[in-house]
Chains A and B, each alone.
Chain A
Amino acid sequence: MNESPSNPATQRGVAVRVRGLCKRLQGTPVLQDIDLDVAPGEIFVIMGPSGSGKSVLLRHLSGLMEPDAGEVLVGGQPVRAPELMPDYRLAMVFQSGALLNSLTVGENVGLFLREHRLKPPAEIARIVAEKLAVVGLKGQEHKLPAELSGGMKKRAAIARALVIDPQLILYDEPTSELDPVSASVIAEEIVRLQRRIGVTSIVVSHDRDLVFGIADRLAVISGGRILAVGTPARIRAHPNAELQAFLNVDFQFPSLKQTV
């Protein structure tokens, strides 16, 4: 992969710029002096061990959290709380899917259009069916989220994000708690969307297979600090010992059983 995002002709994503971002939670520094640049239409992955501050960083990018210091610019504008109707279209796919449990899958997917009265009901139903088909959930409109598997919930959440027609999609641990087959379906979906609509995608994950499979560029974060930013090839060759330890740790459960 190369440093610049793919398919520049179809790009309609927005650039994301983070400068000097700091956040403390209950007195503990969670993010320290974070600087990042994400190009329009790029798949940018933020990778790091659990508790390193990845999800908190993502919440700052979405405007769900305010920084103690520093700034986040999306499309050149300071990020605002989502309900303040920012000028760019943002969608977020949460780790759990975060579908509203009291609504059906179809109602969840069409919620944005329905609540903002952007389309008549028949048109919303058509769009919902179309977006569900895109993520392989054709005909699942009438099911409740409780009736879906983890992978299906995440795909429904992606369909809900697509309805917004986003310029920026944020994915929080999109393959966590999924079996390898479902995880690869989600990974393909992320890449396909970026290729098809040129959306800027920022993915938070600690799944190394996913990260190196989909990233145009990636940042490795540890202890609330950025250790390295670059293409997957550059990151693999990076001299930082902590980074290499994270990348090269090899879990082999059968051998663990023999040695522990």
Chain B
Amino acid sequence: MFESIGEMALLFFRTLGSLPQVWRQRHKVCEQFFEIGNASLLMVCILSFFIGGVICLLTGPVLVERGLASSIGGLVGISMCKELAPVMMSILIAGRIGSAMAAEIGSMQVYQEIDALRTMNINPIHYLVLPRLVAIAVALPLLVVFAILIGWGGGSLVAALNHQISISFQSFFANLRDFVTVGNVANGLLKSFVFALVIAVVSCHQGLKTIGGPRGIGRSVTKAVVNCIVMIVILDYFLTRLTL
């Protein structure tokens, strides 16, 4: 495990070191960016809408019962932007995009395409890892902005339509404005940026380490997704602790 962490750290710093190459790789960055956004936007919208709705549905009646109906907007607003949108979207992207990264790079490793790149003096980190890392580091925070807005929409809709809550859109968003600050949103975006780096590095590392044919590719994909989710949850605790 420590060996893998060391290798991932090395891969991360080597990729950072190749950042000056990013302009040369801009077409691949755009391709990856489109792939991440196009593949995930609809899922992000559906997921965040229902997450916002569920939080409101679970907490709304209890808060109304205790005379705290005016706090519902704030609760949904803060929980979406500080925790649920960044973490849930990162887990979604780890499953959707991290697995694709590990599978694609793993397949290239198994079928000697990466060796072919190396014999042409093309550094696989510049060619494969850098565009993916840059694209996901930009795309995930943007998806999280979408997720926050849609989640707030889902929460407000449930608050307005559920007979046990029955709070108008105006009062929901007025309350949300009182509680949620720009700092809260920035906090969520910072988390999603860190999680994006984790997804790219863990997935590309697993892909590059793939051995053993199609079964090996499958193993790498599973490991990439599981390791991403575990690292996201662990890092989430420390980032939350740091930004309290």
**Bound pair: A and B?**
yes
What is the interface of chain A, defined by CB distance below 8 A to chain B?
Answer: 59, 62, 64, 81-83, 85, 90-92, 94-96, 98-102, 111-112, 115-117, 157, 160, 164
Do A82 and B118 touch across chains, with their CB atoms under 8 A apart?
Answer: yes
Do B119 and A92 touch across chains, with their CB atoms under 8 A apart?
Answer: yes
- Using CB atoms, name the residue of chain A closest to B126: A115
> Please, how many angstroms separate the alpha-carbon atoms of A63 and B124 in the complex?
15
Q: How far is the CB of A218 from chain B (nearest CB, A)?
A: 23
Chain A residues, CB < 8 A from B113: 98-101
Do A100 and B108 touch across chains, with their CB atoms under 8 A apart?
Answer: yes
CB-CB contacts below 8 Å: B105-124 with A: 107-108, 111-113, 115-124
Do B118 and A83 touch across chains, with their CB atoms under 8 A apart?
Answer: yes
> Please, how many angstroms separate the alpha-carbon atoms of A117 and B118 in the complex?
16
Chain A residues, CB < 8 A from B122: 83, 111-112, 115-116
Which 8 A-B residue pairs are closest in the complex by CB-CB distance?
Answer: A98-B116, A98-B112, A92-B119, A112-B120, A82-B118, A94-B112, A83-B123, A82-B119
Do B118 and A81 touch across chains, with their CB atoms under 8 A apart?
Answer: yes
> Please, how many angstroms separate the alpha-carbon atoms of A64 and B116 in the complex?
10
Chain A residues, CB < 8 A from B112: 94-96, 98
Do A83 and B115 touch across chains, with their CB atoms under 8 A apart?
Answer: no
Chain B residues, CB < 8 A from A111: 120, 122
CB-CB contacts below 8 Å: B83-125 with A: 104, 107-108, 111-113, 115-124
Chain A residues, CB < 8 A from B104: 102
Q: A100-B108, A115-B127 are in contact. Are A164 and B120 (CB under 8 A)?
A: yes
Do A90 and B119 touch across chains, with their CB atoms under 8 A apart?
Answer: yes
Chain B residues, CB < 8 A from A95: 112
Chain B residues, CB < 8 A from A85: 121
> Please, how many angstroms separate the alpha-carbon atoms of A49 and B108 in the complex?
27
Chain B residues, CB < 8 A from A59: 115
> Please, how many angstroms separate the alpha-carbon atoms of A65 and B49 in the complex?
51
What is the interface of chain B, defined by CB distance below 8 A to chain A?
Answer: 24, 104, 107-108, 111-113, 115-124, 127
Residue among B104, B115, B116, B121 with most chain A CB within 10 A: B116
Q: A83-B123, A115-B127 are in contact. Are A96 and B118 (CB under 8 A)?
A: no
> Please, how many angstroms separate the alpha-carbon atoms of A64 and B120 in the complex?
11
Do A100 and B123 touch across chains, with their CB atoms under 8 A apart?
Answer: no
> Please, how many angstroms separate the alpha-carbon atoms of A117 and B124 in the complex?
17
- Using CB atoms, name the residue of chain A closest to B116: A98
Q: How far is the CB of A17 from chain B (nearest CB, A)?
A: 20
> Please, how many angstroms separate the alpha-carbon atoms of A102 and B103 in the complex?
13
Do A92 and B116 touch across chains, with their CB atoms under 8 A apart?
Answer: yes
- Using CB atoms, name the residue of chain B closest to A103: B113
Q: A98-B116, A100-B116, A115-B127 are in contact. Are A82 and B121 (CB under 8 A)?
A: yes
Do A94 and B116 touch across chains, with their CB atoms under 8 A apart?
Answer: yes
Chain B residues, CB < 8 A from A82: 118-121
Pick from B115, B123, B127: contact of A94, CB under 8 Å: B115
- Using CB atoms, name the residue of chain B closest to A84: B121
Chain A residues, CB < 8 A from B119: 62, 64, 82, 90-92
Chain A residues, CB < 8 A from B116: 92, 94, 98-100, 157, 160
> Please, how many angstroms separate the alpha-carbon atoms of A117 and B225 in the complex?
36
Do B111 and A116 touch across chains, with their CB atoms under 8 A apart?
Answer: no
> Please, how many angstroms separate the alpha-carbon atoms of A99 and B107 in the complex?
12
* Other contacts beyond A101-B113, A116-B121: 16, CB < 8 A: A64-B115, A64-B119, A81-B118, A82-B119, A83-B118, A83-B122, A83-B123, A92-B119, A94-B112, A94-B115, A96-B111, A96-B112, A98-B111, A98-B113, A99-B113, A111-B122
> Please, how many angstroms separate the alpha-carbon atoms of A99 and B119 in the complex?
12
9 pairs, A vs B, C-beta closer than 8 Å = A64-B118, A82-B120, A82-B121, A94-B115, A98-B112, A111-B122, A157-B116, A160-B116, A164-B120
> Please, how many angstroms separate the alpha-carbon atoms of A112 and B119 in the complex?
10
Chain A residues, CB < 8 A from B121: 82-83, 85, 112, 116
Chain A residues, CB < 8 A from B120: 82, 91, 111-112, 115, 160, 164
Residue among B107, B117, B119 with most chain A CB within 10 A: B119
- Using CB atoms, name the residue of chain A closest to B110: A96
> Please, how many angstroms separate the alpha-carbon atoms of A98 and B112 in the complex?
6
> Please, how many angstroms separate the alpha-carbon atoms of A195 and B115 in the complex?
27
Residue among A91, A98, A116, A157 with most chain B CB within 10 A: A98
> Please, how many angstroms separate the alpha-carbon atoms of A82 and B122 in the complex?
8
Q: How far is the CB of B3 from chain A (nearest CB, A)?
A: 16
Q: How far is the CB of A23 from chain B (nearest CB, A)?
A: 16
